[in-house]
Amino acid sequence: MKRPDVLIALAIFAALAAAPFIGFGQGYSLTLLARAMIFGMAAISLSLLVGGGGLVSLGHAAMLGVGAYAVVVLDHARITEAWMVVPVGIGAAALFALVTGAIAIRTSGVHFIMITLAFGQMAFFTTSSLALYGGDDGYTLYNRLEVFGSRALERGIVFHFTCLGLLIAVWALVRALLHSRFGRVLQAARDNETRARAVGFEPYPYRLAAYVIAGAIGGLSGVLLANAAEFVAPAYLAWQRSGDLLFMVILGGLSGPHGALMGALAFVLIEEWLAKLTEHWRLIFGPLLIFCVFFMRGGIAGLLRRG
């Protein structure tokens, strides 16, 4: 019998697959859904740290930014082949996560939050100073990535299903990790670090590996986000974006990657809906999010579970 989290995720994937054929086939609608799926991948990667390892990061947007700026650097050099750009974006973000994580993972609690915030802001100010790539004004890509010389990703529906396929792969990977021995050690260290050490597991290498994996997935999200907007700016790395990602995880629930997925989709779609209603949508969105934190214990996933 399938687990409820699997059924929920499969239902979401089926709805996203059907969306282009049931009224969401217009260009803007497909772009919005692609953006929601990209942030869904980033939120799922963050849920590996927050839900799996108890590592609350306020610098996760830096991983997206590193992946996005890898696209910028290669685009500026007129390198636009996906088979070259995507691995570079993922590798750059994973390397950034390895270097910063090696230091950050040695701390915990508030200290970990603050040091990830510091690393994220360092990356933000670094990209802001890159005059060659637009500085504060950002950089506009010449075109989306090519696939063996083909510009198929320029077509909205192709890009939509590319994002969906990668989203499913990321969800399956993170879920498999959390249900593996690796994930059980992470969760044991989250619940009681002293007891995990007592039974022979040193948490540090497991946490660092999870941090690097989350960073690599964040880099993939950044590559896709750069191509979705065909524009990259330092704002991608700002701490506010990290806060958005963290809230997506909390909104969806910490029970697994399906919760982060639901939180990301809800966050992006509600934000867009409110922005259409009024230019002062933030005055509604902020209290709405606070209401969800107070009255939806366990997030959307917890609400569905109780329902």
Q: What is the pLDDT of residues 232-285, one digit of tens each?
A: 999 999 999 999 999 999 888 887 899 999 999 999 998 888 888 888 888 888
Confidence of residue 1 (pLDDT cuts 50, 70, 90): very low
| Rounded average pLDDT over 285-295 | 80
pLDDT, the chain, mean: 90
pLDDT of residue 45: 96
Confidence of residue 106 (pLDDT cuts 50, 70, 90): very high
The pLDDT tens digits for 46-88 are 999 998 888 999 999 999 999 999 999 999 999 999 999 999 9
| Rounded average pLDDT over 190-200 | 87
pLDDT of residue 25: 66
Q: Quick check: 170 pLDDT over 90? A: yes
pLDDT of residue 307: 64
Q: Quick check: 27 pLDDT over 80? A: no
Enumerate residues 6+ apart whose C-beta is below 8 A from 43.
245, 248, 249, 252, 260, 261, 263, 264
